[in-house]
Amino acid sequence: MSDGRVINFGAGPSALPASVLEEAAKGLLNFNGTGIGIAEISHRSKEFTAFLAEVESLIRSQLDVPETHGILFTQGGGSAQFSAVVLNLLARHHLLNPDLPERDLDYVITGSWSKKAAEEARRLGGGRVNVVVDARASSKDGRTFDSIPAHASYSFTSPNPALIYYCENETVDGVEFSNDASSPASFPFHLLPQNTPLLPLVGDYSSSFMSRPIPRLADHAIIYAGAQKNIGPAGLTILIVRKDCLVDVDAAAKLGAAPVPLTMAYKTLADNSSVYNTPAVLPIYISGLVLRRSAEQGGVQYYEALNKRKADKLYAAIKEGEARGVFRAKVKEGSGSLMNVVFDVVGDGAEAKFISGAEALGMKAIKGHRSVGGIRVSLYNAVTEEQTDAIVAFMKSFLAQ
């Protein structure tokens, strides 16, 4: 059944394991022996309720999510969370500090997605948006996002922010925080305000969720991810929310906070076990099958080692091509994403030749994001080491021509 499939290096929606899709096809016809397909069954049936609980526990056990945090499922993708994190955390801030004249929303800007999230916060109002750091300031040309900034350039100056926001992996620009605390490209947890044990720290993990462990997970207020990179189809958003962020948004509105749509209020989702309204049943099902498979393989520790091996091979091939003047790395060494590897092919018409050469060999979706161009090879969990070896071999043959 998987015959005819090509290697999909797309950035999202992206490749899913063929074995999972084959199993999902059976579930589409008959979910769990019910005789009803997964896209047809009630989200309140006992079979689906049990499946949803299993998905939650697969995430909790693989990421070691403590009991201080709930796991919630919603829709609207990362983009809806750009708004939801602001609205919920402003409501929380109003309840904790009813009389403040000004509320700070602190953004770490390392790429196109965190920039977009900050723009949404500005659009919503209700707080003062501060830029803790803008990675463009330290880039080669002062305009592009090509590295994770040095720790010394962050200024977390708000004494009591309503939100501190960062994006772990910038899917468009190909930069990612390092998981190694001793790396200069790690997230500067040690610089965060020290006066509160319940930091309003928010991480967008859309394109790196389940690709490796999450550093200092317990210190986060909210971690969120759209499913459509490492986990499943688009349509499902996964949230890890610390329980003090499940606030009564209507009580906050009485104190002057902006009203929060009920479908966006984390407390509504939690109080209703993520089925306040009809959830994305099919994406949850496929994501659950992917997560079962990942648990069997060794979880995020297994994927961390695998993803590092894959990315190392690709970055080495780019370096080799750079030495020959054929490829050009777009990201400074040490800041490169394990998930989205970006580079340019130098010379007139060379990029188109590279893309068509790869396509002829069954390697698709390597064109960079339309806003930045170039090549982007996405190496999410479902991309195997053999598939990575295939593109590396093609890059080497391209160099040899």
**Rounded Cα distance, 88 and 247, in Å:** 7
**Rounded Cα distance, 285 and 328, in Å:** 40
Determine, following the binding rule CB under 6 A, whether residue 49 of this chain makes contact with ligand PLP: no
| Under 8 Å between Cβ of 60 and 298 | no
| Under 8 Å between Cβ of 337 and 174 | yes
Please say if 248 is a catalytic residue.
no
DSSP 34-75: SSS-TTTS-TTSHHHHHHHHHHHHHHHHHHT--TTEEEEEES
DSSP 210-230: TSSPPTTGGG-SEEEEESTTT
Of 62, 74, 207, 211, the one binding ligand PLP (CB under 6 A) is 207
Please say if 348 is a catalytic residue.
no
Structure token pair of residue 335: 């800041």
- Catalytic one among 134, 204, 330, 367? 204
Region from 26-34, 74-82, 85-93, 240-248 binding ligand PLP, contact rule CB under 6 A? 74-82
Task: Give the nearest residue (CB) to ligand PLP.
Answer: 77
Region from 19-27, 55-63, 75-83, 122-130 binding ligand PLP, contact rule CB under 6 A? 75-83
Region from 73-81, 126-134, 254-262, 300-308 binding ligand PLP, contact rule CB under 6 A? 73-81
Of 7, 8, 9, 12, the one binding ligand PLP (CB under 6 A) is 12
Determine, following the binding rule CB under 6 A, whether residue 171 of this chain makes contact with ligand PLP: yes
Sign of CA dihedral 180, 184, 186, 189: positive
Determine, following the binding rule CB under 6 A, whether residue 113 of this chain makes contact with ligand PLP: yes
Determine, following the binding rule CB under 6 A, whether residue 344 of this chain makes contact with ligand PLP: no
Nearer to ligand PLP, 12 or 27 (CB): 12
Rounded to 5, what percent of the chain is helix, strand, coil?
40, 15, 45
Determine, following the binding rule CB under 6 A, whether residue 209 of this chain makes contact with ligand PLP: no
Structure token pair of residue 88: 């919920």
- Catalytic one among 113, 115, 146, 310? 113
Determine, following the binding rule CB under 6 A, whether residue 206 of this chain makes contact with ligand PLP: yes
Q: How far is the CB of 112 from ligand PLP (least distance, A)?
A: 9
Please say if 204 is a catalytic residue.
yes
Of 204, 270, 300, 381, the one binding ligand PLP (CB under 6 A) is 204
Q: In what order do the strands lie in the sheet containing 201-204?
A: 69-74, 237-242, 222-226, 201-204, 163-167, 104-109, 128-134
Q: What angle do CA 359, 389, 319 make, to 5 degrees?
A: 90
Nearer to ligand PLP, 27 or 235 (CB): 235
Determine the size of the site formed for ligand PLP (CB under 6 A).
11
Q: Known catalytic residues?
A: 113, 204, 229
User: Contact positions toward ligand PLP, by CB under 6 A?
Assistant: 12, 77-79, 113, 167, 171, 204, 206-207, 226
